[in-house]
Amino acid sequence: MQYGFYVLPVTIITAVALLTIGVGIPKVKATLELRQELKLASAKLLRLTEKTAALQRLDETELRTKMAVMERVLPSRKDVGGVLLGLRQAALSAGVTVVSVNLAPGELATGSSKLKQTASGMEVEVKLTGQIGAVEEWLRLVEEEVVPVMRVKALSGGQDAGSWQLKVNLKAEYLPLPEGLGAANKPLVGLSQEEETLYQRLVPRVGEVTTETDLDQVPLGNPNLLQ
């Protein structure tokens, strides 16, 4: 018992060392990792909260109107009717005669199948006749005034008996719907000033829009084609 007073300190120091190795260090490591995860989770929560606030700030009516306007400007599908209407409207305003319109839209979007994201514009061939000034005005109207957005890709023809006869190859643009919205915590991107200005410029091009079309009320389908 001469060295009995060493027992307690040695026991305590051994316990401290063992607890540090067995409990302390793993706990510190685990907690530090957890803090790191917590930091990431807090950042994610902040992004989600900001996104919720941004979504709540959006005016649903205004958004619906914007959607309707942009759907007319750049449809999500091959808007054959819209293209024909736009070409006719431009011809009436410019005073040219549309001799023929050829379209080969190909695959159409249906309720169960969407168009591919990579799909490019729909090709349209228009043959028209008119005075040069009227033809120029028609080309300007088609590219700058009517909807959906159309770009002239090729132009051929010539003058015959004072009147111009042209074959115009157009591309009627459309933008298929995206596959999805992506991750929920992806930040909501607002419209830039430039985009807002462009939207304001596009509104008169579309004219008055209604968010619900008359087509929604028209009964569709005929169960007996022989009738």
Partner 1 sequence: MQPIKVNLLPYKQRWFTVRQRLAWWLTTGSMILGAGYAVLLGSLLTWQVITEGQMRATLRRIDQTKKEVEALAGRESQQVLVKNKLTKAAELIRQPGITPVLRAVGNLLVPGVQWREIAVKSDGGIEVTLGSSDVVAVGETLENIEAKAGGGDFSQVRLESLTKANNGEYGLTLNLNR
Choose between 13 and 108: whose C-beta lies nearer to partner 1: 13
Only one residue has tokens 């090709």, namely 123
Cβ contact 140:192 at 8 Å: no
Residues β-bridged to residue 165 = 129, 158
Residues 75-94, mask of contacts with partner 1 (x by CB under 8 A): -x------------------
* DSSP line for 54-106: HHHHS-HHHHHHHHHHHHHHS-SS--HHHHHHHHHHHHHHHT-EEEEEEE---
Residues 145-164, mask of contacts with partner 1 (x by CB under 8 A): ----x-xxxxxxxxx-----
Tell me the window of 78-86, 99-107, 122-130, 190-198 that interacts with partner 1 (CB under 8 A): 190-198
Tokens of 223: 């169960």
| Binding residue count for partner 1, defined by CB under 8 A | 72
Question: Which residues, 36 to 65, sit near partner 1 by CB under 8 A?
Answer: 37-38, 41-42, 44-45, 48-49, 51-52, 55-56, 58, 60, 63-64
Sign of CA dihedral 84, 203, 197, 182: negative
Choose between 67 and 99: whose C-beta lies nearer to partner 1: 67
Q: By CB under 8 A, is residue 29 in contact with partner 1?
A: no
Choose between 88 and 186: whose C-beta lies nearer to partner 1: 186
Residue of 103, 202, 206, 209 that binds partner 1 (CB under 8 A): 202
What does the alpha-carbon distance between residue 79 and residue 50 come to, in Å, rounded to a whole number? Answer: 36
